[in-house]
Amino acid sequence: MGNESYKQFTPWGKSAIDPSTSTIVTTKTSEYIVSKTPIGIGSYSKVYKCQNKTTNKNYACKKYKKLLIYGMENSLINEFQILKNLTNSDPKLINLIDYFETNDSFYLVTDLANGGDLFQKITENDSKKLDISTSKQIIIQLIDCLNFLHKNNIIHRDIKTENIFFKFKNSNSILLGDFGLSKVINPNTKLNEICGTISYMAPEMLTSLNQGYSKEIDIWSIGCVFYFMISGYLPFDCETEEETKDAIINKKYLFEPKEYWIEFDNDVKNFIELCFELNVEERTLNKLMDSSFLRFSKPYLNHKVSASSETNRPNISSIQKQQILNILSNKTSSTTKPSSKSSSNSINFHQGELCKSPDCVTELNTPLMSIDSSRNSSYFKVPQFIDEKFKS
């Protein structure tokens, strides 16, 4: 793996050694003042605040180090192309402002979200959750974003609170970002790659080798985001990765503890149930937009929704009710500390202490570190190591 190889790649044009290309700009870095401290860190990139010297406008600058992106070039090409195509298409989507490269790095300059992300908005709130009115405002905008993306055959694949930003402080106007895992697909195409953040993954992604998955995975993630906003914890977030996967595949989540959910009526719970519909053909944005929870909130829609009857939609099953009773009858075990696991088989936790979790969420009774996996970088399968000489 020689140093010359990675320099021949550029995400926005031909090879960097091809003199005929006109898209490679190595001098634009002088047009921006980039902060020394990152404001965000991803799996393969860091985000910095930057300022255009001419206009004095502030932006976000996503920096990919060439040595670290080696072997992941297609991911960066994909993100660049989607951002470029989406720019100025919807005010709720992050815009690509500029792009350039230096000898060592690639840069994507985008809108700056001065209001932080949704994870911060939730966890930094005094109650560690959001009120139903604010949550509804945010979820309406998120649905509208996905409606636009899906109409244009784009699957986001990484909808989570950390990728939903706010334009200004104390504002509920969102900017959906981070399209590094997004895909443009044909309407009948199925994907099989497992990627994203596990607590927001849909069951069909985890079993994708069977039949594959499509845009419905984003709708499942909407349910996880909404559940988190109004309760303060994720519906599928267990002590181990395997337990979390089992909870997702078998839809093992609860509206518990009771005191967390007593204020919410059936419209709210039914909306969540629609997001977590296991039958992907029944899990649609149309049904969300026509739900009783959102039925009178349609001025935002650019999509005609047909009236539909959903009189037989199930609520919590009798099995799930029994699971709740089993948990509550064994509540003493809910204070048991998580068992020690091998680091190679467990999730790396980051800022889970920001989230206050209830004593019980699933019958697995393990989310004492609930929300921790939400802070993981967005990957599922990544190289286990990078050559030491490429880490400098």
Q: Which residues are catalytic?
A: 158
Total count of residues recorded for the chain: 392
Angle between helices 266-275 and 216-231 (to 10 degrees): 140
> 13 CB contacts (<8 Å, ≥6 apart)?
21, 22, 23, 24
Give the C-alpha separation, 10 to 29, whole Å. 16
Q: Other CB atoms closer than 10 Å to residue 120's CB: what's the count?
A: 16
Read off the amino acid at residue 162.
Answer: E
C-alpha distances out from residue 317 to 255, 278, 290, 320, Å: 11, 14, 23, 5
C-alpha distances out from residue 46 to 61, 65, 88, 343, Å: 8, 9, 24, 25
Give the C-alpha separation, 13 to 259, whole Å. 56
Residue 54's Cβ-side half-sphere holds a number of Cα atoms within 13 Å equal to 4
Provide the token pair at 351: 């800022």
Task: Report DSSP letters for 9-64, one per residue.
Answer: --TTSS-TT-TT-----SSGGGGEEE-SS-SEE-SSEEEEEEEETTT--EEEEEEE
Task: Please list the residues that pair with 219 across neighbouring strands.
Answer: none
| Closest among 137, 139, 124 to 172, alpha carbons compared | 137
